[in-house]
Structure 1
Amino acid sequence: MDTVTTPVLELSAAQLVRNVAAVRDHIAPSRLMLAMKDDAYGHGIAWVLDALASDSALNHFGSFDVDTGLRIRECRPDARVFAWTTSADDEIAAALDAGLELGIGTAEYLQRVISGARGRGRAADVHLKIDTGLRRNGVRPEDWGEFVAEAAKAQRAGLLNVIGVWSHLAEASDAEDDEAAAAFRRAVDAVRAAGLSPRDTHLTASAASWWRPELRGTVCRIGAFCYGIRSADGPEIPGIRPVATLRARVVEVREGEATVGIGALHGLPSVLAGAPVGTPAGVRRIRAVGDVATTMDSWDGAQVGDLVSVFGPGESGESDATALAERIDTVGEEILTRLSSTVQRVPV
């Protein structure tokens, strides 16, 4: 191994399988939609789908954008794939041809999807989005009735299949989430009153799906927890551990200081001075993160080639990705998704 240029992200398929099983058991009878945005949270779409290939019960994936959805479709031709961001017309056409399900959160996007369906000669499978307060896309409650009426008209014309209603929670407080859930239930009732019969209702992502069972719909969109990434400032999750471990090798040893071959250009945040990492001699602290290397406290017997764990499940004393994220006021998935392609993804 080139000790200077090859930091690695070790990926445990066995842990991913265990996490998915634990999540699915916990949220039952709701069904799991595995979120795969940002290249499966930095783990790699192809690797994740291959690792879960024997899980016949998992057949529903959330892709964020159409391009990601098409990558999932290539690996899983028979899966349900939900692309929830607003897309361009050429992406709509590609999604319809590939049989992707589209999330629709504006009246303008609804009309473009209807037009695309008419042009392709096939009905679009869609999930209608109500804004329950987060203001992250979604139709406002005062416009919901007209929006639903347009969708129902298009379904009667054979241009849409309204198969879901969905939204995002702010997760700012339990009280606000309770209000959002009430607004969501009213929106679902309005869809059914319009003569539509959505089989999927989904409001919650990882944290709310786990901790607020009363808010779950028929489907839970869960990404982070399946990959073993806990919520910022959140507790450890029973049965869930990180799938990925970031490791780098010592490239230089000086008195009291060791340098490892990973830096900010590999995606390691440059402001992590003081963060703990795991070494052969236990926990040591980062002193500084440079462009291509990181300096840290050394240990007796440190040698070039020694392996250091930057984050992971804690087997060498390292923090998990969320603990690093908490130091810089962000979320654990950002620590993973910012890792560059120069960090090798290595199945273990």
Structure 2
Amino acid sequence: MRVAEISLPAIRHNVARIRELTGGAVIVVVKADGYGHGAAIAAGAALAGGATMIATADLEEALSLRENGIAGPILCWLHGVHTDFAAAVAADIEIGVSHSRHLEAVAAAAIAQNKVATVQFKIDTGLSRNGAAPEEWQPLFQRAAELVSAGVLCVRGIFSHLANAGDENDRAQAARFDAAVEMLRAAGVEPEMVHLAASAATMRSPHLHYNTVRVGVAAFGLSPFADTTSAQLGLIPAMTLRSEIVALRGVPAGTGVSYGFNHVCETATTLALVPIGYADGMPRALNGAGAWVTIAGEHRPIVGRIGMDQFIVDVGPLAGRLQLGDPVVLFGDPELGNPPVEIWAGLMRTINYEIIVGIGTRVHRCPVDGAQA
């Protein structure tokens, strides 16, 4: 009853588009279960589209990818104080290091297994979040050089994350990043991958591409900008959220709909019941906000209060053409006539990222290797 169709061709196209724009290596981030698309599904399609590496936030996500058959390079960078890196070293997962404690723990795991562990340095250049602070860079890099010389570690890269607070701030962060890269090189370590740009800078700031970019939402075909659509960026939304009609009910004028009767039918009409609700990531606050779905190729409004498991659509003049089991598209590719996810995001005063990662576990992720409808 509840399906998120994930277009593999769309993800492959988006990664190829990003490679075309940047001309360098592309890291595709599949944290938060692949931004709600299914991490293993997304990772496989991204690698097939030419991604150089897959990335997650934490180690548990990275290990899950290995367990689900993703054999390509994987990077993760957000670690708890007591994270045990032994499993990461054993599974050949690259560790984003943002503290000397991380570096020593990874080195100890490598020595214990008689393996060379691979790391990348995550540094803070002004986002004031995860990453080594400037005063930590020199001792961190010098110690890494010692461990590289000892055959314990390989340092593949160095990266940071932009605040997306305007061009002036981006350039200031880039200047700090450049200083960190030079400091790493001065310590005797030459990074293979140097990356600062996430989706926004990848699409609009070619001077920040370096030799690698690290994209999340753009790989899934969504725009990181409020003023630009996916199509304008040459991207294709990969997720189509679908359900079906499970009940049709003709009602007279004056009929109240769902809890609280905050919607009352002005004329006689037909109501269709759709079995998705706020437990599945459909925001309850969409009630009465003007959201719509696509049924039989036409836009029809959501009416009445959204429940935990279901919502109601006024199908009006479509009634005679519909039957139980007919498909309902909640959002998808607007180029195919479907509601864009940005409608929900706009009505909720949030971003498309939050909507897609909030799609619940009852919704089956179904990979589709063909054209979407």
Q: TM-score, normalised by structure 1?
A: 0.90
Q: Name the residue aligned to 2:21.
A: 26
For the residue of structure 2 that corresponds to 1:201, the secondary structure is: strand
Say which is worse superposed, 179-188 or 66-75, in terms of deviation. 66-75
Question: How much has 1:49 moved relative to structure 2?
Answer: 4.3
> CA–CA distance in 1 between the matches of 2:366 and 2:124?
40
Change (3 A) 1:182 1:54: closer
CA distance in structure 2 between the aligned counterparts of 1:50 and 1:203, rounded to whole angstroms: 24
Between the aligned partners of 2:307 and 2:348, the Cα distance in structure 1 is 17
SS of the residue 1:34 aligns to: strand
Distance across 2 between alignment mates of 1:232 and 1:251: 36
Residue 92 of structure 1 corresponds to 85
The Cα of 1:224 is off from its aligned counterpart by 1.0
Matches within 5 A, 1:15-164: 15-28=10-23, 30-51=24-45, 54-55=48-49, 57-74=50-67, 75-77=69-71, 79-87=72-80, 91-164=84-157
2:297, 2:337 within 8 Å by CA — same for their partners in 1?
no
Task: Give the superposition deviation at 1:297.
Answer: 3.0
Compared CA separation, residues 292 and 286, structure 1 to 2 (3 A): same
- Contact kept? 1:80, 1:101, Cα under 8 Å: yes
Equivalence for 2:327: 307
| Distance in 2, Cα, partners of 1:164 & 1:307 | 47
1:280 — aligned with what? 296
**CA distance in 2: counterparts of 1:206 and 1:52, whole angstroms:** 15
- Correspondence 1:266 to 2:280: yes
| Length, aligned pairs only | 340
Call closer, same or farther: CA 1:176–1:54 in 2, change over 3 Å.
closer
* Counterparts of residues 154-233 of structure 1 (less than 5 Å): 154-233=147-226
- Cα 1:47–1:260 shift into 2, 3 Å: same
Match of 2:266 in 1: none
Distance change (3 Å), C-alpha of 1:99 and 1:64: same
- Distance, in Å, in 2 between the alignment partners of 1:234 and 1:136 is 27
Residue equivalent to 2:343: 323
Amino acid at match of 2:307: G
Query: Deviation string for 1:275-297 (max 9, x for gaps)?
Result: 23222262223233211111233
How far did 1:223 drift?
1.8
Is 1:12 aligned with 2:2? no
Question: Which amino acid is the alignment partner of residue 148 of structure 1?
Answer: F
| Alpha carbons of structure 1 residues 317 and 69: separation in structure 2 relative to 1, 3 Å | same
| Residue 185 of structure 1, CA deviation | 0.4
Question: Which of the numbers 247, 256, 262 marks the counterpart of 2:242?
Answer: 247
Q: Which amino acid aligns with 2:13?
A: R
Distance 2:151 2:44 in 1: 36
Q: TM-score, normalised by structure 2?
A: 0.84
| In structure 2, distance between residues paired with 1:203 and 1:254 | 56
**Cα gap change, 1:185 to 1:137, in 2 (>3 Å):** same
Amino acid of the structure 1 residue aligned with 2:228: P
Which residue of 2 is the match for residue 3 of structure 1? none
Q: Counterparts of 2:80 and 2:110 in 1: how far apart (Å)?
A: 14
1:16 deviates by 2.0
Q: Is the 8 A contact 1:279 1:317 kept in 2?
A: no
Distance 1:148 1:51, change over 3 A: closer
Structure 2: stretches of 5+ with no match in the other structure: 252-268, 369-373
Give the Cα separation in 2 of the matches to 1:43 and 1:194.
41
Give unmatched runs, 5+ long, in structure 1: 1-5
Q: CA RMSD in A?
A: 2.1
Please give the per-residue CA displacement for 1:35-94, whole angstroms capped at 9, x wherever unaligned: 111121222233234445655x434111222222223334233x2111121256564101
Cα distance, 1:315 vs structure 2 = 5.3
When structure 1 is superposed on structure 2, of 291-300 and 183-192 the one drifting more is: 291-300
Return the letter of the residue paired with 1:318.
N
